[in-house]
Amino acid sequence: MTMLKLENISKTYHTDTIETVALQGIDLTVEKGEFLSVMGPSGCGKSTMLNIFGLLDAPNEGQIYLDGKSVDSYKDKDVALLRNESIGFVFQSYHLITDLRVVDNVEIPLLYRRGVSARERRNMALEALDRVGLGTRVNHFPTQLSGGQQQRVAIARAIVGQPKILLADEPTGNLDSHMGEEIMDILEGLNNEQKTTIIMVTHDDEKAAKTHRVVRMFDGQLVH
């Protein structure tokens, strides 16, 4: 069963004097429960494609399908709701709010979720932190944690709403090899146990080898 599909996707950015083609004619299908790696040199369009998969950016041409449905006709508020309920994001930089406790950072996506009470938010956040091995650090602040622990918090925040899809942009890029392996173990566990569909951008061949499939990009196109 298909979870995500890009059909003839193109994306061009314009400034006053420069036109930059970020993506050109991308066709890519990701199955439910798949763990996919996207590789390629810097500037080849990997992050742009990930943002389009995550409905953070819109293509100039082409169709995006999520769980078999085209999102082309969705209004902005419907796209935002779909993104909040179906997609989690993990970035190379953790994007944690430093003056909020760990548990409060993890709760943030649920503040925009309809019908979730404060008690439910807290319980779901605690469960997500347990899932990434930080159940004893819930009242710490991000600055009191190591880089690997902060990335675990970011993953907990991404999965707290039990998304169907997890998009990870260089999730181990700022970490040493040991911490990177720990983060990969968490991602593999989510994929194996929760059947979460994961798309991960990486420059690391060893990390990519642990996923189900690798696609490569060059100059805004998929290459095989």
Of the two residues 72 and 158, the one the predictor is more confident about is 158
Q: Which residues pair with 23 in a beta bridge?
A: 11
Domains and CATH numbers, the chain: 2-223 (3.40.50.300)
For residue 155, pLDDT beyond 70: yes
Q: pLDDT tens-digit profile of 179-199?
A: 899 999 999 999 999 899 999
- The pLDDT assigned to 83 comes to 92
Of the two residues 221 and 72, the one the predictor is more confident about is 221
Q: pLDDT tens-digit profile of 11-60?
A: 999 888 889 999 999 999 999 999 999 999 998 999 999 999 999 999 99
Strand order in the sheet with 87-91: 87-91, 165-169, 197-201, 35-39, 213-218, 221-223
Q: Which residues pair with 20 in a beta bridge?
A: 13
Q: Which two tokens stand for residue 54?
A: 């995550």
Q: What is the mean pLDDT of the chain?
A: 94
Residue with tokens 């100059």: 219
- The pLDDT assigned to 224 comes to 67
Backbone angles phi, psi at 153, to 5 degrees: -60, -45
